Amino acid sequence: MTISATAVHRFEVRAQPGRRDPKAEALIRDTKSLHIPIKSAATARVYLIEAPLDEASTRTLAERLLADPVREIATSGAQAPADGARIIEVHPQPGVMDPTAQSVRDAIHDLLGIEAAVSTGWRYDVCGLSADQCDTVARRLLANPVIHDIHSTPFQPVHLPIGHTYELKVNHVAIRDLSDSELERLSREAHLFLSLEEMQAIQTEYRTLEREPTDIELETLAQTWSEHCVHKTLKSNIVYRSDEGGEKRLRDEETKRRSDGVTEW
């Protein structure tokens, strides 16, 4: 029995020969909107497991945990691409939530009694695309570069990436001395999407506090006062006119306190 030192073991899980690959089919459909025709595609779920595994443990994970034996097959290592195929791999950056990895980590402990670090990703083998087209497809359809890393070869690190330390910086946004036009511009350019009246209310509050708001405070106010959270339209005064020409005003106590607008239906 050969036991490896703690290292990163790579597993690929793909559809069995003759089985459908729905994720690849969806990719082929989606690329049509980019006018980038893919001749063919295949996908594989990638599991990177950092743990001391022997051959029996590796086989157990492949056969009993990572793949559905009815429709999938799991292999250890990186499978060579088909002739003419290019590889796109998408992996979450360090610190990004990876719920599947957490479940696999817990399952490895239950199954083998081993503490493991796990990260997952997706591999896409595509035929008929140039390197530039692969990059476009990856960034437009498969990944968000803010939270994902994109690779053009199978990703096999010596150790799983870990996040770097972060030094907290408290940033304040100057708002107390802004004019009305400057308040409107701040709301627009900072993507706060608050009305002038709402910006003025925030400005008045922080003048009372005799300090500027932090960026997080400002974002929190913008989010909690948004249409999505506060439902401004639904909280406005509503004038309802029936077919008979009758009219009645619907109010509740919250509307009386918070709303000055009138919406007609």
Q: Which of 52, 201, 43, 71 is nearest to 117 (CA)?
A: 52
Host H or E run for residue 263? strand 262-264
pLDDT of residue 1: 41
pLDDT of residue 265: 40
CB atoms within 10 A of CB 178: 16
Residue 92 · residue 119 · CB < 8 Å: yes
CA separation for the pair 66, 71 (Å, rounded):
12
Amino acid at 208: T
Distances (CA, A) of 60 to 42, 74, 116, 125, 133: 25, 11, 15, 26, 38
pLDDT of residue 43: 98
pLDDT of residue 243: 63
Domains (range + CATH), the chain: 7-151 (3.30.1280.10), 167-230 (1.10.8.750), 231-265 (no CATH)
Q: What is the pTM of this model?
A: 0.67
Structure tokens at 251: 């109010």
pLDDT of residue 262: 46
pLDDT tens by residue, the chain, 265 residues: 444 557 999 999 999 999 999 999 999 999 998 999 899 999 999 999 999 999 999 999 999 999 999 999 999 999 999 999 999 999 999 989 999 999 999 999 999 999 999 999 999 999 999 999 999 999 999 999 999 999 999 999 999 988 777 788 999 999 999 999 999 999 999 999 999 999 999 999 999 999 999 999 999 999 999 887 877 777 767 676 766 554 444 444 444 545 555 444 4
CA separation for the pair 192, 164 (Å, rounded):
30
